[in-house]
Amino acid sequence: MTQEQSIQDSGNDDIYEQALRDRSVSLQECQKAHSLSSCMPCAEFLECPKRKEYVKAVYESLSKGQEGAFDFN
């Protein structure tokens, strides 16, 4: 991997991590607004767009945009 690729990958990591932080804050604000400590008791649990966005952001932050591969390092 060249230094340029490494810098690009680092920038991509930042994008995915920032998206995860943003979705996490949004989800926590929703939970707080509904006086919940978890999404599970919510009637919209399975269809909630905020939760779906959060799950997608978690997946993307783990895979760093690569389909089907996780980097746990």
Residue 7: per-residue pLDDT: 41
Contact between 70 and 17 (Cβ < 8 Å): no
pLDDT tens-digit map of 41-52: 999 999 999 999
Q: What is the mean pLDDT of residues 46-66?
A: 89
Closest CA to 23 of 48, 71, 64, 58: 58
Label residue 66 by pLDDT band (50, 70, 90).
confident
DSSP summary character for residue 2 = -
pLDDT over 60 (residue 73):
no
Residue 10: predicted pLDDT: 54
**Alpha-carbon distance 56 to 45, whole Å?**
15
Helix (H, G, I), strand (E, B) or coil at 43: coil
For residue range 14-36, what is the model confidence (pLDDT) as tens digits? 899 999 999 999 999 999 999 99
